[in-house]
Structure 1
């Protein structure tokens, strides 16, 4: 499927990796794809900008969303009833593996020193849906606009929340990017 991606769509995918990395996130989600799409030129970015979206406000919305979701998923009180002292586990782990060891996002390091971040299932689904959007529009390529349409079709709650918090009207955004893609393809 990736061979069908235009350079703009490829840039959005690699840009999403960098957006997630810059925000200190351990995986790439549709919200990172949105940030990368807005940072690129083309129909997706134009449609997003026409909605009044701007990168700084969207990054702030993504950061807020991550902060809301990052509340410690381990309930120290519940673990204590099982005889597990979470603070002691953290302390022992940090003594052995270094400060923040439990906070480090998963990922592999490449020769460049940059971690490869995995794509969340929701981001993978958005990319798969971008292919469906391209086929629906009878295009033999997947452009940045198709990626945006895939995200909008999936209606991932995180991505939709970022868009709505940033002031977008989802239906208008879908209409605008579809119109832009059709004009560009003609």
Structure 2
């Protein structure tokens, strides 16, 4: 499915992974996908979000607040590191060797997994693009996909900015749907 994303769409998904790692989360949720759309800076989604006064730094703060309120702590993948350590596997040493052989940052552990809500949002990205007759998925489709998952934290973060999902959806659709003569 990744091959159908535009360059900006791919950048946003990669940025969401980076945001999760930077916040010490060993998962990628809808909140991280939202942060990735903002971090990528280019694309329709970032433009529309900025117009709604949604900015990356405050969205990061809201992400931390929302997750802490939900009882989710940033573990930085420590439980997985501890489990491997108990088997005699030194993740730090593997990382040092990978950095030496392949360049700094080439090995990240653990690679965060997508939550069920994030997977649903990405699947719905495909549905949203296809419903519009689009063959590729851009940041606007990712944002539309996020809005289809009301139980995801992204919608809760948008609410902190007083952004209504239905209004945001209409704004995106107006932006990407060509006017009929």
Correspondence 1:1-186 to 2 at 5 A = 1-40=1-40, 41-70=42-71, 104=78, 106=80, 111=98, 112-115=106-109, 116-183=111-178
Matched residues, number: 156
Distance in 1 separating the partners of 2:132 and 2:8? 18
Q: Which ranges in structure 2 are unaligned for 5 or more consecutive residues?
A: 85-90, 99-105
Q: Distance in 2 between matches of 1:102 and 1:47?
A: 31
Give the deviation of 1:106 after TM superposition: 4.0
In structure 2, C-alpha distance between the alignment counterparts of 1:9 and 1:58, rounded to whole Å: 19
CA displacement 1:41-77 (0-9 Å, x = unmatched) = 11101111111111111111100112122368xxxxx
CA contact (8 A) 1:51 1:169 kept: no
> What is the CA distance between 1:157 and its match in structure 2?
3.6
Task: Kindly state the Cα deviation for residue 167 of structure 1 after the two structures are TM-superposed.
Answer: 2.5
Q: Does the C-alpha gap of structure 1 residues 142 and 106 become closer, same or farther in structure 2, counting only changes over 3 Å?
A: farther
Superposition misfits of 4+ residues, deviation over 6 angstroms: 107-110
Residues 143 and 103 (structure 1), Cα distance of their counterparts in 2 relative to 1, 3 Å cut: closer
Asked if the contact 1:26–1:106 (Cα under 8 Å) also holds between the matched residues in 2, the reply is no
- What CA distance in whole angstroms lies between the structure 2 residues aligned with 1:130 and 1:64? 26
RMSD: 2.5
TM-score of the superposed pair, with normalisation by structure 2: 0.78
Q: Which runs of 5+ in 1 are unaligned?
A: 73-100
